[in-house]
Amino acid sequence: MLANIVWNPDPVAFQIGPYFFKWYGIMWGLAIIFAWRFIKFLHRFEGKDNRYAFRLLEYLLFGAVIGARLGQVLFYEPVYFMQNPAEIFTLWKGGLASHGGGLGMLLAAWLFCQKYTDYSLWWIVDRLSIGVLFQAGLMRIGNLINSEIVGKTTTLPWAFAFVQRDGFTEPLLYRHPSQVYDMLLVFSLFALFLFWYKKRKFWEPGRFTGLFFALAFTGRTLLEFLKEDAIRTQLLNLPFIMIGMYLLLRRKADLGEAVGH
């Protein structure tokens, strides 16, 4: 007898009057709180002046949201949004692409460094590569509660029946809990990266970024084989993997000179 899970949680966590608070939104809120605390931790751990720390958070947050939305528009649903351009601004309906969010944060970090020259792009991006792993895990919890990004059908004993997506079929349709796989991957990498960071390993410019691109996106690409309709995402992963390998193989001196010290 399989110990499968029938998964049908309410996406709404609670309601206050006419306002509904969904679990996915709560995960976003927790991700922002974590980002702020993590940025403060980085400044304190390295003895760095934190007077612009909150401004850095603002840049990265706006870059992530705008980039993620544009990523959804350009990478996944260009035809729909060309036909319904007003829908681009309806963020409350969902539709955020992680690849676009990553690119948006990179651009935001670059813009921040142009104004606040006490920071280097490598300093921000390398440390962002650590913290964003934990935030990605929170987002996957939200995806799981919403029954999004589901896996292919399977008979494995830990499979989920995503009722919100597939309904109460007879027999129930069981799938890989791909959100859980992703969550375990990024939380594990976060713990490993944070351990290395505290031990002051891989602090050379570009090293954590290279590790993040190479390990996180390679792991994600492999897990995509267990998901529904994942070919496009796998193709989007490839440039990041190649950039990661390039950064890891490049000489330390070249990395330091590439985008400041």
pTM of the model: 0.89
pLDDT at 117: 93
pLDDT at 92: 66
pLDDT at 261: 42
Q: What are phi and psi of 77, to 5 degrees?
A: -135, 50
Span 84-100, pLDDT tens digits: 888 888 776 667 888 88
Residues in the chain predicted with pLDDT less than 70, given as ranges, are: 1-3, 92-94, 251-261
pLDDT at 214: 96
